[in-house]
Amino acid sequence: MERLHVSLHHLGDFKHLPSGILHAARRAGEAVSAGPFEIVLHAMGTLGDARSRRRPLVLLAESEPLRLLHRHLAAAVRRNGLKAAERFTPHMTLSYGRQAFTARPIVPIRFVAEAFCLVHSELGLGRYRVLERWPLDASSR
């Protein structure tokens, strides 16, 4: 459970996170504000193309506030000199495998996002370290 999260941006694969990227990512996170919002996980399937050997099995999410948070964070990431993904498929990764699955509806899972975090996925170790956490403040609406 402690590893489940909805990814907003991928800043790169690093065994040891470079201090410049860490500093820029922290500044970007500090520049973004939003209120709490609901996320709905509505389908399950795999992401990635046919060449991929490790396809993530994911729960797909719907939430316009999530997409808006992604856009605001992307702008802040770029202003701080980092690359930000243009395309975004809101999802929660469950596992990785070789088989592809077409997205199928599931009984919706709903929860309220109350914060967003800067997370370092320790490359190849399957561990996540929360480096920074920013609450989503209701007064930001």
The tokens of 12 are what?
Answer: 């790169």
Q: Is the pLDDT of residue 94 over 60?
A: yes
Q: Is the pLDDT of residue 141 over 60?
A: no
Domain layout of the chain by residue ranges: 19-136
Question: Alpha-carbon torsion 60, 88, 127, 36, what sign?
Answer: negative
Q: Is the pLDDT of residue 60 over 70?
A: yes
pLDDT digits (tens, 9 = 90+) for 2-47: 667 888 888 887 777 889 999 999 999 999 999 999 999 999 999 8
Write out the CATH class of domain 19-136: alpha beta
Percentage with pLDDT > 70 across the chain = 91
